[in-house]
Structure 1
């Protein structure tokens, strides 16, 4: 896990980045910093209930986010169902295909009924 606080971003500016450490680095990702002020309205994709076996919405979300159609994505629960199963390997397998989307736009989540324990 890597955690970073980005300071001094220029609103609307395009940035390229990668994550890692001495053990290895990710590929390069890119994002556009959100605009500020009140003269714009954010474009947000909201979706939920996407399991590991058949994430049918993911290719379209990734394609549209890469094309700049969304400023942020809100995933409203039901992530892969039992993400902690098999020493969290289910969670890893679920998160890998979504990495390009979550690395491109702000990607926020909230728990659904399947995250309840």
Structure 2
């Protein structure tokens, strides 16, 4: 089984590369997500998460944009689960944007693969 740190590096590289197939395959079918955007809480499942990634990747596809992904902490939750806290921001046309999103992502080792099972996201963090 791939160790979590190696997997996380691969996950972040595929995020930066806008690899929708990788992101979709990494999200577990039983995925649960919570997002806080402008003070409003919403929940979503795998299908909506994949749609969100697809929309973001498509929106920025022809723009001068680069993801800046900074792992803040990696925490073991139990013998099969790890949480990665990731700050995600970007540059647009060479300029760093003012805000970022903070992701608390829980991954579980299932059949020798790491799968994203839960996420909590705070958007528009300064």
Q: Same fold (TM over 0.5)?
A: no
More strand per residue? 2
TM-score (norm: length of structure 1): 0.25
TM-score (norm: length of structure 2): 0.23
More helix per residue? 2
Structure whose CA Rg is larger: 1
